[in-house]
Each structure stands twice: as C-alpha cells, then as structure tokens.
C-alpha cells in the first residue's frame, strides 16, 4: 500500500514537471522538441534519470549556458562560439604560447587563462593548483566530446561552474562525507580516524577534480550529469560508496599513505556499479534533489 502511494506521488510529480509516464528517453525527446527548452525540467530529468549519450552533450551545453534555451538561436550562437575560439587560439599563437604540436588540453588551459585574465607572463611560470584541476577535467572531457570547440566550451563552462556556483560548498564536502560515513558505517570511519587517514583522503581528486582521473569515462559522465544539473553533493556519495565498496581492503590497511594511494587508484572494473549505488544513496539521503548543492 505504501509502495502504491509512493508510486502515485511520483506519477503526480513527474506529470507536474512534464514526464507523463512515458519511457525516460521519450520523455527527454519531448522536452528537447520544445521551441524553448525548459531548464528546470532538464535539470529535474538529469538528476532523476541517466542522460542518453546521444543527447548528453546538447543538454550539458544548455545547462552550462553555452547555448541558449531557444532552438533557433543554437546555430548562430555556436557560430559565434567557434569564431571566438579561433580568435583566442590565433592570439595565443601570435604570442607563442601555443603551437601546432601543443597538446589539446594545454591549448584549452591557455585559452581559459587568457579569457579569464590569468595568462602568466611566460611559459616558464609553474602551473597553479587550479590549472592542474582544469587539465584533469579537460583530459576527461576529451574522452567524452569529440569536437574540440564543443570540448573547450564545456570544460571552461564546467570549471567556471565549480569555481563560482560551488565555490563556497566544495570546501565543506570532506566534512559532509564524514557525517554520512558516520551514518552508514561508523566502524569504517573510526578505522580511518585511528589511522589519521580521514584528513588525508584524496579530496582534490574526488571533489575539486570531480573524479576526473579516478573514474573511467562511462562512469564519470553519470556523475557529471548530476553536478552540471545542479548538485555537487553527488560527489560526496560517490566518495562514500567508494569507501563502502572497498571497506575490506581499507580495513586491512593501517597506514595513511597506503590507504590514500589505494583510493587514488581504485580498480576500474566495477565503477558503474559504484556510481549506481552512490546515486541510490544520494536519493536515500536527499530525496529527489532539484537544484540542490
């Protein structure tokens, strides 16, 4: 009876936001056919369901503000984006910051630095920590997006989202992780604290880099769907599920360095299952998040 009530509630909710019991892919297709894309409904869809790969790049571009909600403007706006891309690219060539042999992700970094007013005086300047984050995300995005112009705008906009929208919340995620780990497995938390490992977990890799370089592309896209659509808190639950999944291995280690090293290089064979369980935990603790950090 309770299940029926919950199902009825969900039906009413999805009808309210435009999902009228149609299979998920068809629901998204209906949303994408509107003359003006509804950002709130796209966010709700992305947070509730996995995005079909054939639509992911389009949805990300809309949610990140790379293209406007109006279909008729997409081609013109992308024309301007393309022109801007090549203008910045040419400027960097003129000042000899890039050349034809420069790796694509480094090109993206220099373009982002120039556009944000952070280009160093010369190439000899060491990279800042935020540059390392940019490069990690760019390398991961390259595996997802074939077109270099789309890839640059997605990386740049995604990093801007992390640095602006989530700027104040990202530093809080380690503490939030500790709170949820205490709820899910206090014994594991006590072990990590006893090893002085809780403060040394790979938070930069997990939270600042949004698991770029940690999860393979197929798993990473599903996590980024949630972050881009409005919730960086999903990162906490992915980290939590990694700890729970590899609990036996972690409990067998009593050295901070070894625990951190293992977590920075987790096995890649079951990451899809880890992400699925993390999303379940996210919904368990947060309900059906919409526009939540």
Instruction: Spell out the per-residue pLDDT of the chain, length 293, in tens.
Output: 444 444 444 444 444 444 443 477 888 888 888 888 999 999 999 988 889 989 999 999 999 999 999 999 999 999 999 999 999 999 999 999 999 999 999 999 999 999 999 999 999 899 999 999 999 999 999 999 999 999 999 999 999 999 999 999 999 999 999 999 999 999 999 999 999 999 999 999 999 999 999 999 999 999 999 999 999 999 999 999 999 999 999 999 999 999 999 999 999 999 999 999 999 999 999 876 544 45
Tell me whether residue 200 is exposed, middle or buried, using C-beta atoms within 10 angstroms of its C-beta: 0 to 12, 13 to 18, 19 or more. Answer: middle
Tell me whether residue 155 is exposed, middle or buried, using C-beta atoms within 10 angstroms of its C-beta: 0 to 12, 13 to 18, 19 or more. Answer: buried
Classified as helix, coil or strand, 36 is strand
| DSSP H/E element including 221 | helix 217-228
Lookup: tokens for 25: 């892919």
Please state which CATH number belongs to domain 54-164.
Answer: 1.10.8.680
> Which regions of the chain carry the CATH code 1.10.472.80?
170-286
| Contact between 166 and 293 (Cβ < 8 Å) | yes
> Which regions of the chain carry the CATH code 1.10.8.680?
54-164
Close Cβ partners of 285 (under 8 Å, ≥ 6 residues apart): 180, 183, 237
Q: Which CATH architecture has domain 170-286?
A: Orthogonal Bundle (1.10)
pTM given for the model: 0.89
């Amino acid at each position: 009876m309770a299940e029926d009530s919950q199902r009825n509630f969900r039906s009413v909710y999805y009808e309210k936001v435009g999902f009228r019991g149609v299979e998920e892919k068809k629901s998204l297709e209906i949303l994408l056919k509107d003359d003006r894309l509804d950002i709130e409904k796209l966010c709700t869809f992305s947070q509730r369901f996995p995005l079909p790969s054939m639509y992911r790049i389009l949805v990300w571009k809309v949610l990140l503000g790379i293209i406007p909600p109006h279909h008729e403007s997409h081609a013109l706006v992308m024309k301007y984006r393309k022109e801007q891309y090549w203008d910045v690219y040419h400027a960097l060539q003129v000042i000899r910051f890039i050349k034809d042999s420069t790796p694509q992700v480094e090109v993206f970094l220099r373009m982002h630095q120039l556009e944000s007013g952070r280009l160093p005086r010369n190439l000899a300047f060491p990279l800042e920590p935020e540059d390392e984050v940019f490069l990690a995300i760019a390398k991961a995005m390259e595996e997802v997006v074939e077109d270099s112009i789309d890839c640059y705008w997605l990386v740049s906009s995604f990093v801007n989202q992390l640095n602006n929208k989530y700027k104040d919340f990202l530093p809080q995620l380690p503490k939030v992780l500790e709170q949820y780990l205490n709820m899910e497995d206090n014994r594991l938390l006590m072990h990590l604290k006893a090893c002085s490992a809780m403060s040394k977990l790979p938070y930069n890799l997990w939270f600042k880099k949004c698991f770029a370089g940690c999860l393979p592309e197929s798993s990473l896209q599903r996590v980024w769907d949630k972050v881009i659509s409005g919730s960086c808190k999903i990162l906490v639950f992915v980290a939590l599920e990694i700890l729970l999944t590899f609990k036996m291995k972690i409990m067998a280690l009593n050295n901070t360095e070894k625990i951190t090293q293992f977590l920075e290089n987790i096995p890649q064979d079951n990451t899809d299952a880890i992400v699925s369980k993390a999303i379940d935990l996210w919904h368990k603790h947060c309900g059906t998040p919409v526009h939540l950090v």
